[in-house]
Amino acid sequence: MRIITDTGALYSPEEGKKLGFDVLPLNVIADKKSYKEYVDISSQEFLEIVKEGHIPSSSQPSIGETMEMFEKYPDEDILVINMADGLSGTYQSTVSAKESVDHSENIHVINSMTLCGPQRYLVEKAVTLKEKGMDIHHMMKELHKSIACEKSFLIPQDFGFLKRGGRLTPLAATLGGMLKITPIMTTTKDAKRLEKYAMKKTLKSAIKEIIKAFQELGVNEDFKIYVTHAGVLQQAQDVVKQLQKTFENTVIEIYELSPVFIAQGGPGCIAVQTIRK
């Protein structure tokens, strides 16, 4: 069995290879140049380009690239874990690639309904279940159990990036001129777009609101929490400390966002997410 994901899971192709799975890189475009994230450009390098004033955009791996990956494993079951359909075209592109190869019946594509930290966890869980000898159908059931108990929040610093990306509900898009306060965004129920969750005066009060939501979800030691950021490590570390006071028995991991998520959420954004193990 082969496990394939995209860089929405915050793994580079090189890291994936070492851990026993394949990673298809997403693409970012800035200053009239296209880059494969984690291959051609790092998060820090991309941040510098964006800070120079270049307007970034992003795109999924091409159908041809995905087909090429599938054709490497014609005789194996393939499990693909893609970032949320709607927030990216990657899932739809993968489904199209699957339908275009001869051994499509062996390819199973999961819409993770999430991205970043929780998507990373789903990939890690799949690798662990594979190592335990679980078949692909039972593995998919176990992954969907985790997907059903996932919650994601985003705190942007520059609303213009989200508006340009078209990943907002109409109501949320009207918040663009209100950034004297701290907006908290969350995914819609179908995970296809972002919507307003709450508006707070400070980052600290925003995290308090997120903590409340996690408590309502029942977050405990059976969950993992992820804090990811676009070039604001100190703020992200402060968020982790605030979360740890309430969820002292919950594993909390911190990562830098990939170039694609910097293009979507903008420099300085922070995502706070959780998923059941």
What's the average model confidence in pLDDT over 79-86? 96
pLDDT reading at 162 higher than 80: no
Residue 177 — very low, low, confident or very high, per pLDDT cuts 50/70/90? low
Which pLDDT belongs to residue 85?
94
Mean pLDDT value across the chain: 93
User: Does residue 107 sit in helix, strand or coil?
Assistant: strand
Which pLDDT belongs to residue 158?
78
Domains along the chain with CATH numbers: 2-26+61-147 (3.40.50.10440), 150-276 (3.30.1180.10)
- Cβ-based burial of 99 (10 A; exposed 0-12, middle 13-18, buried ≥19): exposed
The predicted-structure confidence for 121-151, as pLDDT tens digits, reads as follows 999 999 999 999 999 999 999 999 999 999 9
Query: In this predicted model, which residue has the larger pLDDT, 167 or 109?
Result: 109
pLDDT reading at 274 higher than 70: yes
Distance CA 30, CA 49 (A): 7
User: Cα 155 from chain centroid?
Assistant: 14
What's the average model confidence in pLDDT over 232-259? 98
Length of the chain: 277
Which pLDDT belongs to residue 55?
87
Distance, first Cα to last Cα, the chain = 22
pLDDT reading at 176 higher than 60: no
154: its two tokens: 């985003």
Indicate the range of 48-57, 111-120, 232-241, 245-254 predicted with least confidence: 48-57
Residue 165 — very low, low, confident or very high, per pLDDT cuts 50/70/90? low
CA 71 to each of CA 76, 137, 232: distance values in angstroms, whole numbers, following the listed order: 10, 21, 40
pLDDT reading at 47 higher than 90: yes
What's the average model confidence in pLDDT over 218-245? 98
pLDDT reading at 178 higher than 60: no
What's the average model confidence in pLDDT over 202-224? 97
Share of residues in the chain with pLDDT > 90 (%): 84
Which pLDDT belongs to residue 221?
98
Residue 175 — very low, low, confident or very high, per pLDDT cuts 50/70/90? low
pLDDT reading at 174 higher than 80: no
